[in-house]
Structure 1
Amino acid sequence: MKFGIGQPVRRAEDDRLVRGRGRYVSDIVLPGQAVAALRRSDVAHGRLRAVAADAARAMPGVLAVYTHADIAGRLVPLGNEFPMDPPPAPVTVPHLADTHVRFVGQPIAFVVAETREAAEAAAEAIEVEIEELPAVVDPLAALAPGAPELHPEAPGNLAYDWHHGDAAEVAAIFAGAAHVVQAGVTNQRVAVAPMEPRAIAVAYDPAGAEGQGRWEAWVGCQGAHGMRGRMAVSLGVAPERIRVRVPDVGGGFGMKLMTHPEYALAALAAKDLGRPVAWVADRSESFLSDAQGRDMRGRVEGAFDAAGRILALRMDTVSGLGAQYSSVGVAVHTVFSAVLLGGMYRVPRIHARVRGAFLNTTPTDAYRGAGRPETIHATERLMDAAARALGLDRAEIRRRNLVTPAMLPHTTDGGFTFDSLDTHAVLDRALAAADWAGFEARRAAEAETHALGIGITYYMERTGGGPVETARVEVTPEGGARIWVGTQSNGQGHATAWAQILHEETGLPFERIALMEGDSDALPAGGGTGGSRSAKMASRVILLAAGEIREKGRALAAEHLEAAPSDIEFDAAASAFRIAGTDRSVSLAALAAEAGGIEGAGAVDGRASTFPNGCHIAEIAIERATGRAALRRYTVVDDFGRLINPEIVAGQVHGGVVQGIGQVLMEAARWDPETGQPLTGSFMDYAMPRAADLPRFAVEFLEVPARTNPLGVKGCGEAGAVGGISATASAVADALAAAGAAPETVEPPYTAETLWRALNRRA
């Protein structure tokens, strides 16, 4: 089918968005809407002695000013939301600072006024007295004896000390191994920086929810039901008392799933004032207050036999959590990722230790890949080190250790079962496409002016995310269709992909299938978008809804055609029912017109994961005179199972790879180590990759369908970042090593200055 599954259909939503016809939270102006601004801490760590807000309250246009005293007992403090075993330190913080401030950007007061200008002026007029305390911004330093302590509930700034695997058993394997190799790994702190900043517009109806009062909120987030649940927790009310609606969303990357204090503060103000309240972050606030990503460093070790096969792996890392818990931040480097140590290699035993540190910086949480890029980076850095130590080609050592189809099903020591893969086929296609064999000639040809390097990664992803998903599909009397589903597009092309699935199943015209905005009232539940779960979960529930529509249509067709239902067959290509063996038929659209519409629904509850995997090969040239690094080639071969839309999938790969490249070559969120003041508070100081920094990507797909869902799809949204970091870092390390430098002494991001110094201090 021209617009069915597997076709590279152009995104249906793009024309509207590129013409400026998108509808974002900042475009929504509710009747009587007031505007909020925040007074944030400009001190990284200190005792909050006084907050003087009377002058601000008296300023023109100001409707309300909230400090901690005004919200105490009215909002549930912010804390960890993930049920980790053993539980992390019991640290909670209020929505507005009470006795202490712990990072620059922490909210101290919430101002509501008639206009944004009035709210911002009043926020600036609030006088704050803070007794400054010593700050710590480095995770390793935060855990060192004598470091400034942030929370009495977390002595020594230790949030958790989490382990997976049998340390003694792994140590015994290491003791008997032919080769033991180790490597350091750094995944520095990065800012999320979506195109659209965080925002909320919220109204309160005192007569709603059966007289208890009800909020209606428009939020730029990654799922209406998840945001409803998080707001309900903060407000201390039942979720049914909140309706969350989600219009267009300009990027999320995990951060827009999370609890942030501004949402509940705006809802509380809307209730108190009896009028809608809107808050839209500016870019400076985003750098200060949006949950950030990565911030993991440590060491990984491998035990190998004489032939270079892995016997066991172990990893010891420290994670910078920031000044307080973000929603599921404790899980990112533990449950979400450390159990994947070893990736898609055959690893009999693993042991991982992860410690979480509080420090005077913005909190961290899941960011595109949610820990998998970090752990795969550690794994692949070790594989490169092992290849050098054992004298093996870097592709060959991977080939010897990859799980192959003959080993399936294969259960890892982390407890995950691989059901579908063809790793050697993927690896061979990538090596050929990248001309791996011809690289040394290319390196020699430019040796005088450039240090060339080539990096290789075999990554794997675990996708799935949360068990529950629902959908509702209506075939309209006009012959079109509307889809409501609990996932949420943040730019991934859902309106196109979901329409392709429904078109394949019903034959309804692709251009007349509409994806409706996210709305927690439209469906009983929804899992949102995160963990690359959407294609797997949405496809399942849309298939179920389409199946119900076909069954209802069969019954209607039997009555219309005066035949037994068992004699009716459905022709999806014609979108029509006919009596088997005859030419008597009626279209689905005609039946919907007669019936006033036909609805179907679908719901699933299951946690089965999928395991996308692939090979990335990056080729980089570092100019010896300046240290400037330029990617010359970037090759990807991915196994995402069955592809719904190859063009959209390629776009997702491109975006993820660019975020990985950005992290390796230029991005880093930094703070002054003495004062805790942010040094990268705008795009003037925080570098982001641009088109001119990138080569053309060569992307191919090998479709090995998953066996855990009806379409055989595997998630693709985060995979580019998982492979992009380690492949690019591998290429830089290879270039430095070949030039006689010591790559293990160089910390990312690998800026021109960093690389120039590394090349010029070599022996």
Structure 2
Amino acid sequence: MNVVTPFEGIGASVRRKEDVRFLSGRGQYTDDINRPGQAHAWILRSQHAHARILKIDTAAASAMPGVVAIYTSADLAAIGGLPCGWQIHNKDGTPMAEPKHPVLAEGKVRHVGDPIAVVIAETRSQARDAGEAIQVEFEVLPAVSQTTAALAADAPRVHDDVAGNLCYDWHIGDKAMVDAAFAAAAHRVVFETTNQRLVPNAMEPRCAVGDYDTTTGEHTLFTTSQNPHVIRLLMGAFVLQIPESKLRVVAPDVGGGFGSKIYHYAEEAIVTWAAAKLGRAVKWTADRTEAFMSDAHGRDHVTRAELALDKEGTFLGLRVLTHANMGAYLSTFAPCVPTYLYATLLAGVYSTPAIYAEVKAVFTHTVPVDAYRGAGRPEATYLLERLVDVAAKQCGFDRVKLRRRNFIPTNAFPYQTPVALQYDSGDYFSTLDQALKTADWAGFEARRAEAKLRGRLRGIGISTYLEACGIAPSAVVGSLGARAGLYEVGVIRVHPTGSVTVLTGAHSHGQGHETTFAQLVADKLGVSIANVDIVHGDTAKVPFGMGTYGSRSLAVGGSAMEKAMDKIIAKGKRIAAHLMEASVEDVEFDRGTFRVAGTDKTKTLTDVSLAAYVPHNYPIDEIEPGLEETAFYDPKNFTYPGGCHIAEIEIEIETGKVSMVNFTAVDDVGRVINPMIVEGQVQGGVAQGIGQALLEACVYDADGQLMSGSMMDYTMPRADDLAPVSVATHTTLCTHNPLGVKGCGEVGAIGSPPAVINAVVDALRDYGVEHIEMPATAPKIWSIIHGKTV
């Protein structure tokens, strides 16, 4: 077999193994799966944001060609509603409001896109034609779509049993300390902003195929999911009441997720239930417009923040009030996003001694909101980094010096923040200095002057950020309301000839896991990555795992693999010691070779693995045959990537159009396994961040109609909207996982939006602009420049 070269292990920019099949069109996505005799599902969705369902007439639709069955909520009465995976408690200790989330609307529809009925037919087009023939009689009711408006005393109720549309009223921090800090402050800065709602737009729309074996009673769901085991748990135990031994969930290649494919969706339960009901496979695939009104949305915060500073600019206290839109129902992990993934990050990279945050979560007649790339951390970073710039301007401080003055010192780690988290490592000064140098911050004013001569407004913006990812200890998150553990599993199977199969509960949806995970094995076991196979996404093959989100794949999943490889090496040493007639304590292992210390006696991993499976000369009474080990890793803490992003932009005065000129990202993501993959992850995240800052907004009118329900109305960034992105890393190792990794998948989307908006505000400084809300569109900027009302 091939032995690994030093260029395949940790730190090497190995080209992605999986790209061969992706670029040649040989990937297998859920929509590529077609089961024998399958039927097709089409879902009738509400065109109203809020209405009472008076009557559903399916007679005409049922008689149409190819129709197999039509189901409404009455048919699904015996199954449960979609469960929420996280419970938040109010300030007074009472649990949050948790209204039922039916698979198909019961009695009322509560947002545009709420599913009402499902049509099963021989073809997708027949199902759609029949669905459009269903007659539904509605009593249209008043709706509320805006977050703060939903809290008004006279606002329409989304759920009759939820007073004031308030899901929860939560807080964190020490209010008395913050009040005292403000009383002693020389400067008090107030900042209000909206972090707009976004629609995730993965390349691959969601798809689900339900299959059922009438002989064995086994259910199989193929689905576009980031965590198939969690889907099996939620759907099997809480919705369809299927024993896990009879339910297999398979998530094959997934074309992007960004959080939107974490959750258990109604369509998964529908096709699984219908397949068993009909005794044949049922397939559903979303089109893009359907995705806009059925995939969980992201962000949607309205916030007021106040910062207290002394006369030298040292931060004394931070006070935050956020209203977070939950949409019409609670999505799987929605409640934790504006609380434990947002408010606990309000310290950022700063040593602010006192912080108090309140979060009020609100129901509205809109699509449910849940985690989207970054999940709470982009909202916290945007608020904090815009607030620091506003404070610098109002109080007369240099924005870079103000940040540097308040950074957590490098000798202060581990650092306990006032909002629960304890950071284990970081060096914010070095990432700042490296970014300033790379972006040529000192030479910017000359570039601004040159742009002015060309009739352009040039601006530069900075963001120094931190995030928490690799969501951490099961016991801790359990005490905070999580209804699942957040460990991960790794199985290392060394075959008789020395090749390796890795089974992981993590899931890849574009991150390059098949390469990165193979590099871990190459580095530690000395096996060429060509001889390492990564298996994921199938509950029938992989022990229970928690999937991929929150940049947890390496920090949690990779650590589980590392622990399993330690077990492999420990057992291998015992076998090698027997084969070489040596003491186990004298056997050393290094990248594929077992050696008796101080001698030339060696055995390769292949020698040992063959002996393990062919135990002719083997202490079988002392060691079991085979060479396979399983390990679970429950993280000890979050990991804390951070860094500095700098955006440089130009504005065309005649049109208000913003052009990205340069973007610099210097990130501390811990130990870098594959620099090329890190660079790609950061660049992709920056593209999403630029999209939010300048282009994207999910807009509802006052009646709850989705005004940005297609690519014609929702502006995604294109190549010419972006800029060259200079990516660099400065490493401080994570101190509490065996790999020293922190995570890189979300940093680009977290650090970039405030850097871009800070740059836009800087470019507009001569127009008296202190803040501009995202997205900073050309018409909005043109109106500012030309004195019109925004």
TM-score scaled by length of structure 2: 0.93
Structure 1 residue 180 corresponds to structure 2 residue 197: no
- 2:40–2:123 contact (8 Å) kept in structure 1: yes
Residue 753 (str. 1) matches residue 779 (str. 2): yes
Report 1:349-368 matches (<5 A): 349-368=354-373
Name 2:80's counterpart in structure 1. 76
CA displacement 1:52-73 (0-9 Å, x = unmatched): 112222222222111011111x
2:136 and 2:374 mapped to 1: Cα distance? 39
Displacement of 1:78 in angstroms is: 2.8
- Local SS of the residue matching 1:93: coil
Cα contact 2:635–2:737 (8 A) shared by 1: no
Structure 2 match to 1:322: 327
Does 435-444 or 590-599 show the bigger shift?
Answer: 590-599
For structure 2, list consecutive stretches of 5 or more residues without a partner in the other structure.
Answer: 1-5, 473-485, 614-625
Q: Does 1:136 align with 2:149?
A: no
Contact 1:742 1:762 in 2 (8 A): no
What residue is the counterpart of 1:621 in the other structure? 650
Q: In the alignment, what sits opposite 1:498?
A: 517
Structure-to-structure mapping, 1:251-270, within 5 angstroms: 251-270=256-275
Residue 759 (structure 2) pairs with residue 742 (structure 1): no
- Say whether 1:508 aligns with 2:536: no
Aligned residues of 2:89 and 2:168 also touching (Cα < 8 A): no
- For the 8 Å contact 2:457–2:652, the answer to whether it is kept is yes
Q: Which secondary structure state, in structure 2, belongs to the residue aligned with residue 70 of structure 1? A: coil
Provide the rounded CA distance (Å) in 2 between the counterparts of 1:239 and 1:734. 56
CA contact (8 A) 1:315 1:352 kept: yes
Say which of 624, 629, 637 aligns to 2:666.
Answer: 637
Tell me the residue number matched to 1:121: 129
Of 646, 653, 666, 2:675 maps to 646
1:379 to 2:384 alignment: yes
SS in 1 for 2:659: strand
Counterparts of 1:458 and 1:378 in 2: how far apart (Å)?
Answer: 12
| Residues 342/555 of structure 1: CA separation in 2 closer, same or farther (3 Å cut) | closer
Determine if the alignment matches structure 1 residue 586 to structure 2 residue 603.
Answer: yes
AA aligned to 1:181 is V
Q: Secondary structure at the match of 1:69?
A: coil
Structure 2 residue identity aligned to 1:739: D
Preserved contact between residue 557 and residue 633 of structure 2 (Cα < 8 Å)? no
Q: Quote the residue 1:556 is aligned against.
A: 575
CA distance in 1, matches of 2:341, 2:179: 24
Kindly indicate whether residue 547 of structure 2 is the aligned counterpart of residue 521 of structure 1. Answer: no
Instruction: Give structure 1 stretches of 5+ with no counterpart.
Output: none
Q: Give the residue type in structure 2 aligned to 1:701.
A: T
- How far has the Cα of 1:549 moved from its partner? 1.8
Offset of residue 393 of structure 1: 1.1
Structure 2 counterpart of 1:92, from 86, 100, 118:
100
CA contact (8 A) 2:347 2:419 kept: no
Distance in 2 (alpha carbons) for counterparts of 1:644 and 1:593? 30
- Measured in 1, the distance between the counterparts of 2:610 and 2:59 equals 63
User: Pick from 754, 758, 783: which aligns with 1:730?
Assistant: 758
| Residue type of the alignment partner of 1:266 | V
Question: Which of 294, 297, 300 is residue 289 of structure 1 equivalent to?
Answer: 294
Per-residue CA distance 1:552-584 (angstroms, 9 max, x = gap): 322332333344433432231xx2223333333
> 2:471 maps to what in 1?
465
Which ranges of 4 or more aligned residues in structure 1 deviate by more than 4 Å?
none
Q: 1:228 touches 1:244 (CA, 8 Å); kept in 2?
A: yes
Q: Distance in 2 between matches of 1:418 and 1:556?
A: 41
Give the drift of 1:743.
Answer: 4.1
1:706-752 per-residue CA deviation (whole Å, 9 max, x = no partner) reads 1011111101111111101111111112112x2314243x4321111
Question: Aligned pair in 2 of structure 1 residues 590, 57: CA closer, same or farther (>3 Å)?
Answer: farther
Change beyond 3 A, Cα 1:594–1:33: farther
Tell me whether 116-125 or 610-619 shows the greater mean CA deviation.
116-125
Q: CA offset at residue 447 of structure 1?
A: 2.1
Q: Which residue of 2 aligns with 1:411?
A: 416
Once the two structures are TM-superposed, the CA of residue 95 in structure 1 deviates from its matched residue by 0.9
Give the whole-Å Cα distance in 1 for the aligned partners of 2:348 and 2:289: 37
User: Partners in 2 of 1:564 and 1:372 — Cα distance?
Assistant: 51
What pairs up with 1:311-350 in 2 under 5 angstroms? 311-350=316-355
Tell me if structure 2 keeps the 8 A contact 1:664–1:729. Answer: yes
SS in 2 for 1:317: strand
Compute the displacement of 1:636 (Å): 1.0
Contact 2:49/2:365 (<8 A) preserved = yes
Residues 339 and 359 of structure 2 are in contact (CA less than 8 Å); yes or no, is this contact kept in structure 1?
yes
Query: 1:703 is matched by which residue type in structure 2?
Result: T
Q: What residue number does 2:616 align with?
A: none
**CA shift digits 1:388-439 (9 cap, x unpaired):** 1221111100000010112122100011111211111111111111111111
Shift of 1:79: 4.8
CA distance in 1, matches of 2:74, 2:557: 44
Partner residue of 1:456 out of 462, 475, 498: 462
Tell whether 2:233 aligns with 1:229. yes
Matching of residue 154 in structure 1 with residue 166 in structure 2: no
**Structure 2 partner of 1:19:** 24
Report the more deviating stretch, 482-491 or 355-364.
355-364
**Which residues of 2 match residues 99-110 of structure 1 at below 5 A?**
99-110=107-118
- Residues 498 and 538 in structure 1, CA contact (< 8 A), matched pair in contact too: no
TM-score, with structure 1 as normaliser: 0.96
- The answer to whether the Cα contact below 8 Å between 1:75 and 1:264 also exists between their aligned partners in 2 is no
1:7 to partner: Cα distance:
1.2
Q: Secondary structure at 1:23's aligned position in 2?
A: coil
Other structure's SS at 2:523 match: helix
Q: Is the 8 A contact 2:390 2:770 kept in 1?
A: no
Structure 1 vs Structure 2: percent identity of aligned residues? Answer: 45
Distance 1:18 1:639 in 2: 31
Secondary structure at 2:638 match in 1? coil
In structure 2, what residue type is equivalent to 1:234? V
Query: Structure 1 422/129 Cα, relative in aligned 2: closer, same or farther at 3 Å?
Result: same
Letter in 2 for 1:705: L
CA positional deviation for 1:606: 3.2
Distance in 2 between residues matched to 1:93 and 1:550, nearest whole Å: 48
Bigger Cα displacement from structure 2, 284-293 vs 515-524: 515-524
Question: Counterpart amino acid of 2:181?
Answer: I
Aligned to 2:628: 599
